[in-house]
Amino acid sequence: MQEQHAWSGRFSEPVSELVKKYTASVHFDLRLAEFDIEGSLAHATMLHKAGVLSDADLAAIRSGMADILSEIRAGEFDWRVDLEDVHMNIERRLTDKIGDAGKRLHTGRSRNDQVATDIRLWLRAQIDAIVPLIGALKTSLLDLAEQHADTVMPGFTHLQVAQPVTFGHHMLAYVEMLSRDAERMSDCRRRVNRLPLGAAALAGTTFPIDRHYTAALLGFDDVCHNSLDAVSDRDFAIEFTAAASLVMVHLSRLSEELILWMSPRVGFIDIADRFCTGSSIMPQKKNPDVPELVRGKSGRVVGHLMALIMLMKAQPLAYNKDNQEDKEPLFDTADTLIDTLRIYADMMRGITVKKEAMRAAVLQGFATATDLADYLVKKGLPFRDSHEVVALAVRHAEGQGVDLAELDLATLQGFSALIADDVYTVLTPEGSLAQRDHVGGTAPAQVRAAIARQRQLPA
């Protein structure tokens, strides 16, 4: 006997096997199963409250769903491609177990609002897992920053030595990025946490439903207020993927720096062996595979963002089959981000900082030149004039193969009579750092204050 679909009475011939395979989504949307059951139970409870389901039907649905949930968790559920998706697989199994009560469950809803609800439930749970993981990575970075609040390193612009900073200050830059990332995720959650269920296929339902009651049962903050919008838009998924892309871009930037810093030509850090691999041919190699993969996976997540935007860009209202394609990029985005945050938090605890190499690099690029210019301005010389004076001094020092701090006083005074012997307090990296003692500055005291402020913020 030909398998009957939920909609098969309309058609005069069965769906081809190729179409079944092409249109089925159960091989990936089965991960929504527990959320589908959660939503169905809330819907059934609401229908019972509205007088649509009897006491016996509700009890049967609850008992049958409990058995199905156990089967799924035990890996014993028989997922069938011919039933298309997670929703029909669960509904058919429920009907097989409890009879007509299972057929009544779908009263007042459609797969359109059902799947939109399931995705929101799933995505809400993902965000609730991701925000603490961002917090854990921030903690790893804060611990590293605290250990190196005084460690001098060159700050770069255009990958050229610019001014001295501390390694702690550098790590705090990424802490700030991640703080904004966590804020974006939490803000995105507010728009995810709105209930589509009750919109039915696109126009609502004729049954006396109570959507706010269902929303309360499922922990939603509000309902979607337009039935067409509720079933058809995936902007909440796009917004999440955009927020995830920014996290990955931030971690890709840090990955690029870790890769550069670990190179023997730079030698600022070492990454613990457990996060690296070797070469099949070169026995000396220690490759920073984890940050390289993070750098690569950032492109993967950004690609998912583009895919979701393109998926939605030309869809007329309301639901279209195109939206089946929302799940795989969304699922992979969350999986990739969660895995990346977990491994990164651990990896940053395995960073060894090579202080001597960092300080030596500061002395290679005339990093205190701006400090000398500021020194002359404080002595009364206009900044543009002081800039020219220091540029000449740098050119001279470069020709001599020495740092500015290594020029004797008489030589420095040859560039400006305003220079006195107190100039050497600003020409050392430590002196440069100490003078930037303001909120957001790189002075060690400010680095420690910034760390303390971050630790006091909610996780």
86 and 125 share a domain? no
134 and 22 share a domain? no
148 and 190 share a domain? yes
Query: Which residue is catalytic, options 12, 16, 158, 438?
Result: 158
pLDDT tens for 1-40 read 345 555 556 666 777 888 888 888 999 999 999 999 999 9
Residue 334 token pair? 């969350």
Residues 380/420, Cβ–Cβ less than 8 Å: no
> Is the backbone peptide bond immediately before 318 cis, with ω within 30 degrees of 0?
yes
212 and 325 share a domain? yes
103 and 117 share a domain? no
pLDDT attached to residue 1: 36
pLDDT, tens digit only, all 459 positions of the chain: 345 555 556 666 777 888 888 888 999 999 999 999 999 999 999 999 999 999 999 999 999 999 999 999 999 999 999 999 999 999 999 999 999 999 999 999 999 999 999 999 999 999 999 999 999 999 999 999 999 999 999 999 999 999 999 999 999 999 999 999 999 999 999 999 999 999 999 999 999 999 999 999 999 999 999 999 999 999 999 999 999 999 999 999 999 999 999 999 999 999 999 999 888 888 788 999 999 999 999 999 999 999 999 999 999 999 999 999 999 999 999 999 999 999 999 999 999 999 999 999 998 889 999 999 999 999 999 999 999 999 999 999 999 999 999 999 999 999 999 999 999 999 999 999 999 999 999 999 999 999 999 999 886
Closest CA relative to residue 301, chosen from 346, 341, 260: 341
Q: What b-and-e string marks burial along 338-349, b requiring 16 or more CB atoms within 10 Å of the CB?
A: eebbebbbbbbe
Q: How far is CA 195 from the centre of its chain?
A: 24
Q: Is 170 a catalytic residue?
A: no
Alpha helices (H) in 157-288, listed in sequence order: 167-192, 211-218, 227-232, 235-262
Q: Is 279 a catalytic residue?
A: yes
Q: Is residue 6 situated within a structural domain? A: no
Longest dimension (CA), the chain: 103
Q: What b-and-e string marks burial along 169-199, b requiring 16 or more CB atoms within 10 Å of the CB?
A: bbbbbbbebbeebbebbbebbeebbbbbbbb
User: Any idea what DSSP says for residue 27?
Assistant: H
103 and 124 share a domain? no
User: Any idea what DSSP says for residue 277?
Assistant: B
369 and 427 share a domain? yes
Amino acid (one-letter) located at 406: E
Whole-angstrom Cα distance, residue 157 to residue 137? 26
Whole-angstrom Cα distance, residue 139 to residue 141? 5
Of 107, 126, 157, the one marking the end of a domain is 107
287 backbone dihedrals φ, ψ, rounded to 5°: -100, 135
352 backbone dihedrals φ, ψ, rounded to 5°: -105, 125
pLDDT tens for 387-438 read 999 999 999 999 999 999 999 999 999 999 999 999 999 999 999 999 999 9
Provide the residue range defining the domain that includes 36: 15-107
Q: Is residue 19 situated within a structural domain? A: yes
pLDDT tens for 310-353 read 999 999 999 999 999 999 999 999 999 999 999 999 999 999 99
Q: Is residue 140 situated within a structural domain? A: yes
Residue 157: strand pairing partners: 160
Residue 449 token pair? 């204050």
Q: Is residue 286 situated within a structural domain? A: yes
As a whole number of Å, the CA-based R_g of the chain is 31
Q: Is residue 285 situated within a structural domain? A: yes
Handedness of CA 5, 8, 12, 17 (dihedral sign): negative
133 and 95 share a domain? no
Of 54, 85, 107, the one marking the end of a domain is 107
21 and 55 share a domain? yes
Domains held by the chain: number: 3
Mean per-residue pLDDT over the chain, rounded: 95
92 backbone dihedrals φ, ψ, rounded to 5°: -65, -40
Whole-angstrom Cα distance, residue 227 to residue 211? 12
Q: How many residues does the chain have?
A: 459
311 and 166 share a domain? yes
Whole-angstrom Cα distance, residue 360 to residue 457? 35
Whole-angstrom Cα distance, residue 442 to residue 189? 34
DSSP for 370-407? HHHHHHHHHTT--HHHHHHHHHHHHHHHHHHT--GGGS
The CATH number assigned to the domain holding 56 equals 1.10.275.10
Whole-angstrom Cα distance, residue 363 to residue 91? 70
Q: Is residue 76 situated within a structural domain? A: yes
Query: Which residue is catalytic, options 279, 280, 298, 396?
Result: 279
